[in-house]
Structure 1
Amino acid sequence: MFERLLARLSGRQVGTDRFGNTYYESRQDYRAYGRKRRWVIYAGKAEPSSVPPEWHGWLHHTTDAPLPEGKRHPWMIEHRPNPTGTAAAYRPQGHDYVGGRRQRTAGDYEAWTPGS
Structure 2
Amino acid sequence: AERVVESDTDPRLPKMVYGVVQSVRAALKYRGGWRGLLEHMYTNGDYPFKFGTCMGSDAAGNRYYENRVDYPFGQHRWVEPGDIHNFDSTSIPPEWHGWMVSQNDAPPGEAEDALIERKMAAIPTMCDSSAPDAHNVGHREELFNFHNMHNQTQVRSRGYGIGNPVVGLPPGVKDGYYTQPGSPYNDHSINIAPKIGDLDEAKGGGRAYKSEKWMERLMTAEEKAEREARVKAENDRLTSKMSDMRMRALAERRGRGAGTVVGN
Q: Which TM-score bucket, shorter chain as reference?
A: 0.5 to 0.7
2:56 paired with 1:15 = yes
Partner of 1:79: 145
- Contact 1:29–1:36 (Cα < 8 Å) also in 2: no
Larger radius of gyration: 2
Percent of aligned pairs sharing the same letter = 31
Q: Point out where structure 2 has 5 or more consecutive residues left out of the alignment.
A: 1-35, 41-46, 115-140, 160-174, 186-264
User: What are the within-5 Å matches in structure 2 for residues 1-116 of structure 1?
Assistant: 1-2=36-37, 3=40, 5-7=48-50, 10-26=51-67, 28-30=69-71, 33-34=72-73, 37-44=76-83, 45-68=86-109, 76-80=142-146, 81=149, 82-83=154-155, 86-87=158-159, 88=175, 92-93=183-184
Q: Which moved more, 1:85-94 or 1:35-44?
A: 85-94
Number of aligned residue pairs: give it: 87
- Change in 2 beyond 3 A, CA 1:29/1:36: farther
Q: Which structure exhibits the higher relative contact order, with contacts defined as CA atoms closer than 8 Å and separated by 6 or more residues?
A: 1
TM-score by length of 1: 0.56
Contact 1:16 1:23 in 2 (8 A): yes
Which structure has greater helix proportion?
2
Please report how far the alpha carbon of residue 93 of structure 1 lies from its aligned counterpart in structure 2 after TM superposition: 2.8
Cα distance in 1 between the residues matched to 2:92 and 2:104: 15
The 2-side partners of 1:55 and 1:89 are apart by: 23
Q: Could you tell me how far apart the structure 2 residues matched to 1:66 and 1:84 are? A: 32
User: Could you tell me which amino acid in structure 2 is paired with residue 18 of structure 1?
Assistant: A
Change (3 A) 1:50 1:34: closer
Residue 142 of structure 2 aligns with an amino acid whose one-letter code is M
TM-superposed CA distance for 1:25, in Å, is: 1.1
AA in 2 matched with 1:6: F
Q: TM-score of the superposition, structure 2-length normalised? A: 0.28
For 2:75 and 2:90, locate their aligned partners in 1 and report how far apart those are by CA, in whole Å: 23
Which has the larger share of strand? 1
Tell me which amino acid in the other structure corresponds to 2:82.
Answer: A
